[in-house]
Amino acid sequence: MPDSTVRIGLVLPDVMGTYGDGGNALILRQRLRMRGYDAEIVEITLNDPVPESLDVYTLGGAEDSAQRLATRHLAKYPGLQKAAERGAPVLAICAAIQVLGNWYETSSGERVDGVSMLDVTTSPQATRSIGEVITAPQIDGLTQPLTGFENHRGGTTLGAGARGLARVTHGVGNGVGDGLEGVVQGSVIGTYMHGPALARNPELADLLLKRALGVDELAPLDLPEVEQLRRERLRV
């Protein structure tokens, strides 16, 4: 066990927490504590600079106006960018993908520069994507289908520096017709899946934790209610 507390950064929950994605930080903390680790959530609001010293970071979804506030804050206080550069895992949900990208276009047609942690761009699509999504992961360390609830109008195009998290088997995904869902670049994993995503995908939660702890394996957890939830959601 580590000597110190594992610190989970919940980034800008005051503006990037529309869909309950703050629950992802709770899942990380609980899965650590169930294995005997000390863990705490560090909430980083618009009143705080973003520390670069935390072990793992999560960001959630938001509307256009909140996205702009978050983008300006992360540009002013680049602790998240510095943490990712040293390899700290970052989970970006929905609008957070857009904020961390090169640019995103709002529903009114305004183009806003992102913080360029991800080589992606996002533009509004003709119709909103709402409903269950199921995907087959395409990165090492994930073998089980990923499941979530998507609710976004943005269509995200991956650049050469990014790759998809998974391939869609049910639902829409990134919304640009390439069959992909989410994005992976460096230590950042992004997905449009709400739910919260880590409650519905414990394997993804443990992948982030293994990276945060610098370990190859974690003690298994016997949580039949989680498996029941997954079975229900996979029967869409």
What pLDDT band is residue 235 in, cutting at 50, 70 and 90? confident
Q: Exactly one of 73, 94, 152, 170 is catalytic; which is it?
A: 94
Cβ atoms of residues 211 and 202 within 8 Å = no
Q: Exactly one of 73, 152, 170, 194 is catalytic; which is it?
A: 194
As a whole number, mean pLDDT of residues 102-108 equals 92
Identify each DSSP E strand in 138-172 by its residue range.
Answer: 146-158, 166-170
**pLDDT tens digits along 152-168:** 999 999 999 999 999 99
Show me where the domains of the chain are located: 4-232
As a whole number, mean pLDDT of residues 76-97 equals 98
- φ, ψ for residue 133, nearest 5 deg: -135, 140
Please determine, for residue 3, whether its predicted confidence score (pLDDT) is greater than 70. no
Question: Is 194 designated active site?
Answer: yes
The CATH classification number of 4-232 equals: 3.40.50.880
As a whole number, mean pLDDT of residues 173-193 equals 97
- Per DSSP, 34 falls in state T
**Residue 128 marked ligand-binding:** yes
Q: Which of 83, 112, 93 is nearest to 7 (CA)?
A: 83
Alpha carbon of residue 125 to chain centroid:
21
